Amino acid sequence: MTVTIDEAYEKALAGVGKVQEIRIGILDERALQRFSLVVGHTSPEYASSEAAADLGYDGLLAAPLYLTAVLGWDTGPAESDLLADGNSTTPLGDVDVAGLRLMGGGQDLTFHEPVVAGLDVTMHAEVTAVTRKEGRSGPLLVLEVHRRYVEADGRLLVECHESFLAR
């Protein structure tokens, strides 16, 4: 299905301001250890709950980008539910990009509390703005997304302001 930027822009505007709540669940120690190892965080507090406790943490410490780097928290969408470029719709909240291809445009992160194994985390994703722009190779959309990661008791852990380019 081929859509124009203007058609996609109109569809995307309808999702601006809607907040999608996604329960991530209880952070698993093994998943945190695997992610930390892959991204090169090899300090003891990322590998051992005992080492993390010695430093005053309530559990094994997650690598700083863990929550914001994982875009899908379930087993994954069916192929028929993927966007045209193979991406999941999850990072865009409830915004319909009408078959356009997505590319990351950057992140601004704020870390409020340590993220440790055993926390029960929920993500709130909201597309805060959609802008139509003229790029060097033609029109594109810029989608601004605000994701908040909160613990079950309501404590804010991490905020991510992120932009996506859609063409």
Average pLDDT over residues 137-144: 92
Q: Is the pLDDT of residue 77 over 90?
A: no
Where does residue 144 rank: exposed (0-12), middle (13-18), buried (19+ CB within 10 A)? middle
Question: What is the C-alpha separation between 99 and 83, in angstroms, rounded?
Answer: 6
Predicted confidence (pLDDT) per residue in 25-36, tens digit: 999 999 999 999
Contact 21, 93 (CB under 8 A): no
Nearest partner of 27 among 160, 120, 149, 123, judged by Cα? 120
pLDDT of residue 4: 83
Match 């943490």 to its residue by tokens: 57
pLDDT of residue 1: 46
pLDDT of residue 85: 64
User: Helical H runs in the chain?
Assistant: 5-13, 29-39, 49-54, 66-69
Average pLDDT over residues 65-71: 89
Q: Is the pLDDT of residue 96 over 80?
A: no
pLDDT of residue 42: 92
pLDDT of residue 146: 95
Question: What is the C-alpha separation between 28 and 115, in angstroms, rounded?
Answer: 11
Contact 138, 15 (CB under 8 A): no
DSSP 73: -
Instruction: Give me the CATH number covering residue 127.
Output: 3.10.129.10
Predicted confidence (pLDDT) per residue in 3-14, tens digit: 688 888 888 888
Where does residue 95 rank: exposed (0-12), middle (13-18), buried (19+ CB within 10 A)? buried
Average pLDDT over residues 24-51: 96
Give the number of domains in the chain. 1
Domain of residue 80 covers 5-166
Q: Select the more confidently predicted residue: 116 or 137.
A: 116
pLDDT of residue 84: 67
Q: Indicate the pLDDT class of residue 116, thresholds 50, 70 and 90.
A: very high
Q: Is the pLDDT of residue 121 over 90?
A: yes
